[in-house]
Amino acid sequence: MNEVELPSDKQIRRSQNRLRATIASEKYTGGKSKTEAMTHPVLTPFTMAMKSLGYPVASQRKSLLLLEHCEGCSKEGVLTFKGKSRDFKVCGFCKK
């Protein structure tokens, strides 16, 4: 797992801000936010930050994230990402 560069807290926070801005502008124009409806407050910014590092989510069907149970934090937060040579799994909550 160590060959993969994970996003820093700062990068994740930047994605969170971007997401929040999108949601706010959708609410401003339409009252309801499509983005908010399909956004997870922790996992979505994490996948955005991962994508900007070059690792798109592999475990996704349409806009739904397919999550697996994490042994580390006992949450349903393990995502599969497409790596450069092979896919790998990371938990969006504890980053393990």
CA distance 46 to 61: 17
Spatial separation of the C-alpha atoms in residues 73 and 94, rounded to whole Å:
7
Chain residues in the site for Zn ion (CB under 5 A) = 70, 72-73, 91, 93-94
Q: How far is the CB of 57 from Zn ion (least distance, A)?
A: 16
Q: Which is nearer to Zn ion, 13 or 69 (CB)?
A: 69
Cα 55 from Cα 82, distance rounded (Å): 5
In the complex, minimum distance from the CB of residue 65 to Zn ion, in angstroms, rounded to a whole number: 14
Please say which residue, 26 or 93, places its beta carbon nearer to Zn ion. 93
C-beta closer to Zn ion: residue 88 or 93: 93
Query: Between 54 and 72, whose beta carbon lies closer to Zn ion?
Result: 72
CB 32, min distance to Zn ion, A = 31
**Those residues with Cβ within 8 angstroms of residue 21's Cβ, 6 or more apart along the chain or in another chain:** none
Tokens of 46: 């994490």
60 membership: H or E segment, kind and range: strand 60-61
Shortest distance, position 69 Cβ to Zn ion, whole Å: 9
